[in-house]
Structure 1
Amino acid sequence: MQAPSLTRYVANGVTLLGDTSRPGGVTFAFTERTGGVSKAPYASLNLGSRCGDDPACVAENRARALAALDAEKIAASLVEPRQVHGDHVVVVDSSAPEALAAARAQAQAGADAIVCTVPGVPVLLCFADCVPVVLIAPGAFAVVHSGWRGTLARISAKAAAVLAEEAACETADICAYVGPHASAADYEVSAELLATFEDEFGTIVHTAETERNLDLSAAIRCALTRVGLDSARILDACPSTVSNTDRFYSYRAEGGICGRHAAIAYL
């Protein structure tokens, strides 16, 4: 696969950030907040089903987002985990009804990464400052939710290892796309938490904007390279959610009441 890249584009009124080359046979994108039907404070393309929005609006928004990715015909197979800020990885390796139902049940029991190796199964995870990571291998992918707890637990690296095993490839063959999140300039944490991250990942996680700014994506990149990913195949070029609330939802900037954008992928 070629080096990862992201393009911002609009499809059916929905604004997306994606690699339109379909690396590894995977269609994926990070959504923005425009193009949906939700009202304030969830306006407008809220894809989160657990933040207080009208379920009918969420359903319509998801239909629009999937259609923008040409996935409307496989919408009934959608896998969406109940995200719990942990490090559990669920594998979807069959689209047979019973197997898919079992994988969905595992995901709903609590998971923050989904590895998928079968065509026709879209995966959706939601975000509003935490770090979305899409991992692409030849013929397989993973979508990861990495808040500070998940980052500390190296969930992206764990998902990469599982993905490599399921795709029968080396971790060096994987491309990683780090999506929009609260960047270091906008993410001040306690001195204790910053010290914990420095102990785990080194001073690369600490930027100079303030005494306590934390760079989660630096920690994720460190964890990924330690399990064998090539740093040239890790792309982190997205704007900060906190300082771009016209484009993305931000739990931190919007006082804890907001919608959720998403990372969506399928083979």
Structure 2
Amino acid sequence: MSAPTLTRYQSHGVTLLGDVSAPQGVALAFTERTGGVSAGCHASLNLGSACGDDASCVAENRRRALAALGAEDCGDALVNPHQVHGDRVVVVRSCGADAVRAAQEDAAGGADAIVCTAAGVPVLLCFADCVPVVLVAAGGFAVAHSGWRGTIGRIGAKAARVLSEETGTPPSQMIAYVGPHIGREDYEVSPGLAERFSAEFGPGVIWGERNLDLGAAVSAALEDAGVPPGSIACCDVSTASATERFFSYRAEHGSCGRHGALAVMTGE
């Protein structure tokens, strides 16, 4: 298995970071903030529906993002959970209308990872500093939201285990993508939290006295779950230092939109 890579490219006016090889028939990408219709602090491709943006703008932005991924016709099946900084995983096993509706309702009740084994069902999770994780296996994929609570709770590793159970693919044969998130240079945490992360993942996740490397912690959890280090692609751009490209809750003082992690299994 060749090492996965993230490539920056444009599609339908939207800038994406993705794996253009569509591994295992999964189209996946992390969106940037340009190419949408939102204004002000949400400018312009805000995909989040709970940050104060106009609902019609969010709907159009999501349509554009899906079109950029080649999934515009799948919009009605979009699964977008209410993210609660926990470790709950919702599974989508069928593209049937009733099954999709049930999954959408289940996800709306609160979840931070979606595992999908159904073709034609796109999954979107939204971010503004937290770590997006996409996992790909033969027969399915997972998208996870890993803030500091989710990271110390190993939500990415839990998603990998559930994806393995659903597809029969061991984590050793999965590919993982760690998307844009706040970098260690911009993420100073309390001494107590730094100590907790150092105890959980080793001192290598703390930079200097108490700057936290969330991406390193997420990767460590994935490796502990069995995903090979060479099968993990990481974006090394800090959202807080690149607000021209990404939204950052910390750098923009809570007034911002959300970029997304999108994936869909094409069935091809």
* TM-superposition CA deviations, 1:226-245 (whole Å, max 9, x none): 11110100111331100000
Aligned residue number for residue 115 of structure 1: 115
Aligned residue number for residue 66 of structure 2: 66
Aligned residue number for residue 240 of structure 1: 238
SS at the partner of 1:8? strand
User: Offset of 1:139 from its aligned partner?
Assistant: 2.3
SS at the partner of 1:246? coil
User: Offset of 1:12 from its aligned partner?
Assistant: 1.1
Aligned residue number for residue 260 of structure 1: 258
Structure 2 gap segments, 5+ residues each: none
Aligned residue number for residue 175 of structure 2: 175
Tell me the distance in 1 between the aligned counterparts of 2:96 and 2:109. Answer: 20
TM-score, normalised relative to structure 1: 0.98
SS at the partner of 1:41? helix
Tell me the distance in 1 between the aligned counterparts of 2:251 and 2:21. Answer: 33
Tell me the distance in 1 between the aligned counterparts of 2:132 and 2:187. Answer: 16
* TM-superposition CA deviations, 1:163-220 (whole Å, max 9, x none): 1111111110011100000011110000010001111111011112xx1100111111
Matches of residues 55-204 of structure 1 in structure 2 within 5 Å? 55-204=55-204
SS at the partner of 1:161? helix
Answer yes or no: is the 8 Å Cα contact 2:117–2:140 preserved in 1: yes
Aligned residue number for residue 215 of structure 2: 217
Aligned residue number for residue 16 of structure 1: 16
User: Offset of 1:104 from its aligned partner?
Assistant: 1.2
Aligned residue number for residue 30 of structure 1: 30
User: Offset of 1:145 from its aligned partner?
Assistant: 0.2
SS at the partner of 1:177? strand
Answer yes or no: is the 8 Å Cα contact 1:26–1:139 preserved in 2: no
Tell me the distance in 2 between the aligned counterparts of 1:135 and 1:164. Answer: 10
Answer yes or no: is the 8 Å Cα contact 1:178–1:238 preserved in 2: no
Answer yes or no: is the 8 Å Cα contact 1:84–1:110 preserved in 2: yes
Identity of aligned residues (%): 62
Tell me the distance in 2 between the aligned counterparts of 1:91 and 1:264. Answer: 16
SS at the partner of 2:41? coil
SS at the partner of 2:30? strand
Tell me the distance in 1 between the aligned counterparts of 2:103 and 2:44. Answer: 30
SS at the partner of 2:207? coil
AA partner of residue 232 (structure 1): G
Tell me the distance in 1 between the aligned counterparts of 2:95 and 2:69. Answer: 19
Tell me the distance in 1 between the aligned counterparts of 2:235 and 2:60. Answer: 29
Task: Figure out how many residues of one structure are paired with residues of the other and give that number.
Answer: 265
Aligned residue number for residue 251 of structure 1: 249
Answer yes or no: is the 8 Å Cα contact 2:81–2:110 preserved in 1: yes
* TM-superposition CA deviations, 1:126-162 (whole Å, max 9, x none): 0000000000101210000000000010000000011
Coordinate RMSD, CA, aligned = 0.8
SS at the partner of 2:42? coil
* TM-superposition CA deviations, 1:7-34 (whole Å, max 9, x none): 1001111000000000011001000000
